[in-house]
Amino acid sequence: MSSTTIFTWLDAARPKTLSLAITCILCGSTMAFETSSFSITITLLALITALLLQILANLANDYGDAVKGTDNDARVGHKRTIQQGLVTLKAMKKAIALNLILIIAFGAALISTAFDSTSEILSFIGLGILSIIAAICYTVGKKPYGYHGFGDLSVLIFFGWLGVAGTYYLQTGLLSTAILFPATACGLLAVSVLNINNLRDINNDRECGKYTLIVRMGTHWGRAYHQVLLAGSFCCFAIFALLEYASFTSWLFLLALPLAIKHGVIVWMAPNSETLTPMIAHIIKIAMLTNILFAVSVLLH
């Protein structure tokens, strides 16, 4: 395989977005670290599986939007691999199939390592199947849910509740109401990344019949919604800190708050949607920093 081909497939995998998968596993694992049930093996298997699922979603998104014509010359931002003619539809389908095989292999290893109970094994097999379906059907199929405004909810579920709380349960076999707060916070930060992408693409998405939540609510309310996502994530982390910890180190995540506020102001004041492209990288960094600071605060506690 040539270096050009390798870089093409790396581009298709969208490595900048993979931090979202990493941080949700990180948050769940650091909370599990406080218990005697923490397993580095389960952490690594969960991390690999999550990364593969994220790559699957990115490849399927590239394929689905190309087939539907959403990735066209009017689209703002980085051109995708099929759109550029670097990868054929057939090659992308093969890559998706290979990725699926790897997900099944690592997912099976993860579940068999974490559980002995038949009910737990079957439950997580079901969750794994749902994760695969969600990754593919965001833009692929006759009625992709991403084209009907359900992408935000999916991201909250899989990068928040399932990613964080699921990782914690895989290691400890426990769930609590308190865990749902950092899980929700992590999920809301991931949704904010999707939201910036949808704000940027609102005009092209509307023309192509991709009715994202932003297309449905409009630019003004979409920007207001973005502020709610940012504020909600920090509030959820704060509630968890109040419920679980008493030390000042529990509030390390607030170090990222000034960056989040600055980001929110820029998004609110942006002259048009097309100027939001740099904000995608910005919010990814903020999400990663906030989650890492939260994880460090848990470890210090």
Supply the pLDDT for residue 198.
93
pLDDT at residue 267 is higher than 60? yes
Q: Which of 269, 265, 133, 282 is nearest to 197 (CA)?
A: 282
Domain range holding 33?
A: 3-300
Supply the pLDDT for residue 163.
95
Supply the pLDDT for residue 15.
87
Total domains present in the chain: 1
Count of CB atoms situated within 10 Å of the CB of 101: 10
Supply the pLDDT for residue 227.
97
pLDDT classification of 204: cutoffs 50, 70, 90: confident
pLDDT at residue 20 is higher than 60? yes
**What average pLDDT does the chain have?**
91
pLDDT in tens, 60-114: 988 888 887 766 665 666 677 887 778 888 999 999 999 999 999 999 999 999 9
Lowest mean per-residue pLDDT among 54-68, 127-141, 217-231:
54-68
Lowest mean per-residue pLDDT among 76-90, 119-133, 191-205, 251-265:
76-90
Per the model's pLDDT, the better-predicted residue between 6 and 18 turns out to be 18
pLDDT at residue 178 is higher than 60? yes
Burial letters for 291-301: b for 16+ Cβ neighbours within 10 Å, e otherwise? bbbbbbbbeee
Lowest mean per-residue pLDDT among 82-96, 102-116, 189-203, 273-287:
82-96
pLDDT classification of 210: cutoffs 50, 70, 90: confident
Supply the pLDDT for residue 12.
85
For range 148-156, the mean pLDDT: 94
Supply the pLDDT for residue 77.
63
Helix or strand run (H / E) with residue 11: helix 3-13
pLDDT at residue 46 is higher than 80? yes
For range 139-149, the mean pLDDT: 89
pTM score:
0.92
Helix or strand run (H / E) with residue 3: helix 3-13
Lowest mean per-residue pLDDT among 15-19, 36-40, 78-82, 192-196:
78-82
Supply the pLDDT for residue 256.
97
Supply the pLDDT for residue 72.
61
Per the model's pLDDT, the better-predicted residue between 17 and 224 turns out to be 224
- The share of the chain scoring above pLDDT 70, in percent, equals 95
Lowest mean per-residue pLDDT among 41-55, 76-90, 159-173:
76-90
Count of CB atoms situated within 10 Å of the CB of 175: 13
Provide DSSP, the chain. Answer: --HHHHHHHHHHH-GGGHHHHHHHHHHHHHHHHTSTT--HHHHHHHHHHHHHHHHHHHHHHHHHHHHHT-SSTT--SSPPHHHHTSS-HHHHHHHHHHHHHHHHHHHHHHHHHH---HHHHHHHHHHHHHHHHHHHHTTSSSS-GGGGT-HHHHHHIIIIIIIIIHHHHHHHS---TTTHHHHHHHHHHHHHHHHHHHHHTHHHHHHTT---HHHHHHHHHHHHHHHHHHHHHHHHHHHHHHHH--SGGGGGGGGGHHHHHHHHHHHHH-SSGGGGHHHHHHHHHHHHHHHHHHHHHHHH-
pLDDT at residue 169 is higher than 80? yes
pLDDT at residue 44 is higher than 70? yes
- Dist CA 171 CA 150 (whole Å): 30
